[in-house]
Amino acid sequence: MKKALLLSIAILILSCQQNKKESTSKEVPEFSKKMKNFDWLLGNWERVNEEKGKRTFEKWHKISDTEYSGIGFTMQNDDTLKKEKIQLIHAHGKWNLTVKVPEEKEAIVFKMIHQSESEFTCENTEIDFPNTIKYWKNGDRINASVSNAEIEIPFEFKKVKP
- Is the entire prediction scored with pTM above 0.95? no
Tell me the C-alpha distance between 109 and 96, whole Å: 7
Answer whether residue 28 is part of any domain: no
Answer whether residue 17 is part of any domain: no
Answer whether residue 1 is part of any domain: no
Tell me the C-alpha distance between 103 and 14, whole Å: 52
Confidence of residue 117 (pLDDT cuts 50, 70, 90): very high
Answer whether residue 94 is part of any domain: yes
pLDDT digits (tens, 9 = 90+) for 47-92: 999 999 999 999 999 999 999 999 999 999 989 999 999 999 999 9
Answer whether residue 105 is part of any domain: yes
Answer whether residue 19 is part of any domain: no
Burial annotation 147-157 (CB, 10 A radius, 16+ → b, else e): eeeeeeeebbb
CATH of residue 56:
2.40.128.20
Q: What is the pLDDT of residue 34?
A: 57
DSSP string, 81-124: EEEEEEEEEEETTEEEEEEE-TTSSSPEEEEEEEEETTEEEEE-
Mean pLDDT for 86-104 is 95
Q: Is the pLDDT of residue 17 over 50?
A: no
Residue with more model confidence, 25 or 39: 39
Report the number of distinct structural domains present in the chain. Answer: 1
Q: Is the pLDDT of residue 3 over 50?
A: no
Answer whether residue 46 is part of any domain: yes
Residue 122 belongs to domain spanning = 35-160
Percent of the chain surpassing pLDDT 90: 75
Residue with more model confidence, 107 or 31: 107
Answer whether residue 21 is part of any domain: no
Mean pLDDT for 138-158 is 97
Find, among 32, 22, 26, the residue nearest to 111 by Cα. 32
Q: Is the pLDDT of residue 4 over 80?
A: no
